[in-house]
C-alpha cells in the first residue's frame, strides 16, 4: 500500500502538512516584486529601492525610473556552479 492509497482516499495529514511547509518556506526566501508580487524570471532585470524593496521591469516604470538605486540580472540556480571551457591553443 503506497502513501497515497490512504483508507480515506487522500494523502495523510502529515504529508500534506510537510508539503505545505516546504512550499511556504520556498516562497519566503524568493525575491518578489514589491509592486505586483510576481517572482522575477531568470534573465530579467530587477531594481532595488531604498529600504530594500525589489521592483520588476514593469513596476519600475510605473513607480518612476529615477528612484531605483541599483539593478541586477536575475540568475538561475546553476549560476556560479558551472565552468566555462577556454581554448588557449595558438590560432
User: Which pLDDT tens digit goes with each residue over 76-85?
Assistant: 777 777 777 7
- Work out the number of other CB atoms within 10 angstroms of the CB of residue 6: 13
Asked if residue 8 is part of any domain, the answer here is: no
Averaged pLDDT, 63-90: 77
In this prediction, residue 23 carries a pLDDT of 82
| Cβ-based neighbours of 35, under 8 Å, separated by 6 or more | 55, 56, 58, 59, 62, 63
Asked if residue 14 is part of any domain, the answer here is: no
- Assign residue 35 the CATH number of its domain: 2.10.110.10
Is 84 within 8 Å of 59 (Cβ atoms)? no
In this prediction, residue 63 carries a pLDDT of 74
In this prediction, residue 60 carries a pLDDT of 85
Residue 47 belongs to what domain range? 31-76
| Of 22 and 3, the one with more pLDDT | 22
Asked if residue 52 is part of any domain, the answer here is: yes
Asked if residue 23 is part of any domain, the answer here is: no
Is 73 within 8 Å of 79 (Cβ atoms)? no
- Residue 1 is placed in which grid cell? 500500500
In this prediction, residue 49 carries a pLDDT of 85
The number of folded domains in the chain is: 1
| Of 90 and 32, the one with more pLDDT | 32
Amino acid at each position: 500500500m503506497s502513501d497515497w492509497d490512504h483508507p480515506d482516499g487522500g494523502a495523510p495529514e502529515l504529508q500534506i502538512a510537510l508539503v505545505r511547509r516546504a512550499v511556504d518556506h520556498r516562497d519566503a526566501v524568493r525575491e518578489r516584486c514589491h509592486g505586483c508580487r510576481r517572482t522575477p524570471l531568470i534573465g530579467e532585470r530587477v531594481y532595488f529601492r531604498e529600504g530594500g524593496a525589489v521592483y520588476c521591469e514593469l513596476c519600475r516604470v510605473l513607480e518612476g525610473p529615477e528612484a531605483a538605486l541599483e539593478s541586477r540580472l536575475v540568475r538561475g540556480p546553476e549560476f556560479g556552479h558551472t565552468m566555462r571551457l577556454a581554448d588557449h591553443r595558438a590560432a
